Amino acid sequence: MTVKPGYQNLISLSIAPVNITVGKLYSDLMVSIELMKDIQREYNLDGFEFQCLEEWDENRPPVDGRKARLDIWRGSRKYSIERIADLLKDAKLNILSVHAKRDIGIYLCSDNSSDIEKGKRLIHEALWFTGEIGSSVCVFHLWDTRKQDFDIEFLRKILTEISLEYPGVIASVENVPTNLKGCTPYDLVKEFQWITLDLQWAALYNELEKFVEIKDRIVNIHLRGELENSRWVVRNSTFEFYETLNMIRESWNYKGILTMEPNGLKVGEFDELMSAMGTLKKHIE
């Protein structure tokens, strides 16, 4: 049986949003790899979260309905999942967690059985990939955030059964928004064994405090913030970034991965980004 990883607050950076700081699209895989190599060599970070993108899949374009993503998909270089794994292994990168393709939940909540099978195949793909590159945590958006009616037990059963085939990988479910009647993201994720807690979504639903009840099942926390004077700030929120970080580490005694998912990065902000990442390391020392 998979056990919770013994990380001691390793600091991780979600790499896809970083590409823009050097003027490149989030979907440029080779730029992401070079950035990770540079950061791993020059800066005091523990590793990265790597996001699997629909933009690289020649067979399945994004299905979230956003025209901008379809345009980027059409212009993006395509890679098989095996090729991406080889590129990451060759680069010897510290990938602490993998974010599975975001469209999985859309497929699983479809009324079309063939779409559901696509979703299952993508779960298999993500868990295989996570283990293949030497990571142990995989993050899933497991439901269609726009859909008002779906069976959470059906989704839980699918993920549980597939996960048994990949005992070295923890399949964690993120508290993404939901339109399911009468439910909040907390209500949904608490049904799963392992959880990735995204602070932005917890703030949106004003339910961060609820997660203390299931804190022992949280294996990854997505920290959200924007840059301001080389530090992190959270706008339009009921909590302050570093105070919340203190609460999670000290009151909750959380010892898992802390993954920074920067919001609103701009061209030319790479150096400021890395300075802000340094404040995280100093803050937990």
CA distances from 59 to 21, 37, 197 (A): 29, 29, 31
**Matching residue, tokens 């300075």:** 275
Distance CA 36, CA 41 (A): 8
> DSSP state, 262?
E
Tens digit of each residue's pLDDT (9 = 90 or more) over 57-91: 998 899 988 899 999 999 999 999 999 999 999 99
Classify residue 253 as left (phi > 0), alpha (psi -120 to 50) or beta.
left
Question: In the prediction, which pLDDT does 239 show?
Answer: 83
Average pLDDT value for the chain: 95
**Average pLDDT for residues 97-106, to the nearest whole number?**
97
- CB 39, CB 31: distance < 8 Å: no
- pTM value is 0.95
Please enumerate in sequence order all residues whose Cβ is within 8 A of that of 37, keeping only pairs 6 or more positions apart, or say none: 91, 93
pLDDT top residue among 2 and 110: 110
With residue 72 as reference, give the H or E element that holds it. helix 67-75
pLDDT of 7 above 60: no
Q: Which two tokens stand for residue 166?
A: 């990949």
Note the CATH number of domain 11-284: 3.20.20.150
Distance CA 113, CA 237 (A): 40
Helix (H, G, I), strand (E, B) or coil at 137: strand
Q: Any idea where the domains of the chain sit in the sequence?
A: 11-284
Q: Which two tokens stand for residue 210?
A: 């609820």
Strand partners, 48: 13, 95
Tens digit of each residue's pLDDT (9 = 90 or more) over 188-209: 999 999 999 999 999 999 999 9
pLDDT of 173 above 80: yes
Question: In the prediction, which pLDDT does 1 show?
Answer: 36
